[in-house]
Amino acid sequence: ARKSSESEERQAKSIEDQLTEIKEFNKKENLNIAEVFQESKSAKYPGRTEFGKMIEKIKASNEPVGILAWHPDRLARNSIDGGQIIYLIDTGQICSLKFPNFWFEPSPQGIFSLNMAFVQSKYYSDNLSENVKRGIRNKIRRGEWTGIAPLGYVNNPVTRNIEPHPVKSKIIKHLFESYANGQFSMNSAREKLQLLGIESRNRNPISLSAMGWLLSNPLYYGVIKHNEEYHEGKFEPLITRKLFEDVQARLKDCTQKRHSKQRQDRKSTRLNS
């Protein structure tokens, strides 16, 4: 039994519902369930732990076994996992597959039908994924932020966009202004944010990479960058474009000075050696 927490399978039956139907089906068929495998992970890509354990136990079995599942798409939504099931049927290590709502028998016709079920499952995932990506692209083109609001903003469920946080937006604006004026370095800015209650999950100052992302994100002057494209945001910016460009100039200057010092240190090390 499998259920994914990812969006493409939100409508799939829960694991508990699947197990209930499988057990009722098992009573009708009078079968012996040797072991139950269940996981909460998408089958779109190979590498699932419980699926892998099941396959290894089938390979190690001294006699052919069968698999009970609610539907073939609970077993695989990718060609590698589906291919493993087909191969084990071809070699006789899987003698039967039974589903409450799908017919299968280990015959050429049955294997063909199973192959088609796996292909349809993969097509469903691929097509839905592309539809989601297209929806995200269109939302960004309309100037709407997708996903969780970045630091300084909050999600507005009514407008389905973001808006400035009443407190944190002012902190972010102050951070940009102070960094542009040379009042803060990256490290001192991190420490200042921590004092104001903005820190990492383990209660440490946010990372240097997160600081770099924050200070170089055009979102804060009202522009969304997506796949090297820039779109005007339909939300309130926290800073002006002029202030953003001043910060970028200082970031570039600090980076050049750091690289220059590193080159000098390496040169000094070679001379000393």
pLDDT score at 22: 87
User: Mean of the pLDDT values across residues 263-272?
Assistant: 70
- For residues 198 and 171, the answer to whether their CB atoms sit within 8 Å is yes
SS3 string, 115-152, reads HHHHHHHHHHHHHHHHHHHHHHHHHHHCCCCCCCCCCC
User: Would you say residue 13 has pLDDT above 60?
Assistant: no
Please identify which residue in the block is written with the tokens 């009722």. 24
* Tens of pLDDT, residues 138-151: 888 899 998 899 99
* Tens of pLDDT, residues 155-196: 999 988 999 999 999 999 999 999 999 888 888 888 888 888
60 φ, ψ to 5°?
Answer: -85, -10
188 or 102: which leads in pLDDT: 188
Instruction: Give start and end residues of each alpha helix (H) in the chain.
Output: 15-29, 49-60, 79-90, 108-141, 168-180, 186-195, 208-215, 241-272
pLDDT score at 263: 73
7 — pLDDT class (breaks 50, 70, 90): very low
* Residues 6+ positions from 168 with CB-CB distance below 8 Å: 151, 152, 153, 198
Of 190, 2, 176, which Cα lies nearest the Cα of 81?
2
8 — pLDDT class (breaks 50, 70, 90): very low
